[in-house]
Amino acid sequence: MGFSEFVIMEKRVLIPRHEIQIKVKDLARQISSDFAGKEPILIGILNGVVFFFADLVMSLSIPSKIDFIRASSYGSSKASSGAIKLVKDVEIPVRGQDLIVVEDIVDTGLTLNYLVKNLKSREPASVKICALIDKAERRENEVKIDYCGFRVQEGFLVGYGLDYAEKYRYLPDICVIE
Ligand code: IMP
Ligand code: MG
């Protein structure tokens, strides 16, 4: 991308922490109501999802199980390589279970599409998708996001788990790099 590691990038707060918290509670309420009487397995897509995932799971008012999956797609920059492979699989058997796949941000949709197809091939009872951020304008693969936090038009986002070349995940707000 031509960005030098030594260039200090400007970050502007796009979604402050308190707005994230309100939205996460709202998503948790919807999921708890839709899955009342059930015990879904929430599957977090590592690594970016970690803070969102923890906040979401702890805000649910229903019992749940958690597991994680990891795919490699983006390298260390802002450009997608296009090729996706499974780097870490779930460990709980998913056959016959209600799954909620939790993602930080959906961009082209390649990652989520690949992972959901993979999980569906193991015959779970149901698969729903929850994403904190939907960057719909770059979508290449159609993905039905059942629970969506924020729709963002453009820009590269960091913070609250999101990284740029593994940096800035620790920021409490969601920021846009300018
Ligand atoms: P997709 O396969 O193009 O939908 O890309 C999804 C993955 O790319 C997400 O899980 C993120 O890890 C990463 N990604 C996409 N857009 C951003 C962004 O704006 N900031 C940080 N990571 C992003
Ligand atoms: Mg990710």
Q: What is the pLDDT of residues 11-42, one digit of tens each?
A: 999 999 999 999 999 999 999 999 999 999 99
Residue 3 has pLDDT above 80, yes or no: no
- In the residue annotation, 34 being an active-site residue is answered as no
Task: Kindly state the percentage of the chain with pLDDT values over 90.
Answer: 78
Residue 90 has pLDDT above 60, yes or no: yes
pLDDT of 140: 83
The chain-wide mean pLDDT, for the chain, equals 91
Cβ of 69 below 6 Å from ligand 1: no
Predicted confidence (pLDDT) per residue in 38-83, tens digit: 999 999 999 999 999 999 999 999 999 999 999 986 554 555 556 8
Predicted confidence (pLDDT) per residue in 123-137, tens digit: 999 999 999 999 988
Residue of the CA atom closest to atom 9 of ligand 1: 105
Q: Which residues of 3-18 are buried (b: 16+ CB within 10 A; e: fewer)?
A: eeeeeeeebeebbeee
Cβ of 110 below 6 Å from ligand 1: yes
Given pLDDT bands bounded at 50, 70 and 90, which one contains residue 138? Answer: confident
Residue of the CA atom closest to atom 20 of ligand 1: 157
Cβ of 74 below 6 Å from ligand 1: yes
If one residue of 15, 105, 108 were mutated to test the ligand 1 pocket, choosing by the most ligand atoms within 8 A of its CB, it would be 105
pLDDT of 4: 52
Q: Which position among 55, 98, 104, 107 bears the catalytic label?
A: 107
Greater pLDDT, 59 or 110: 59
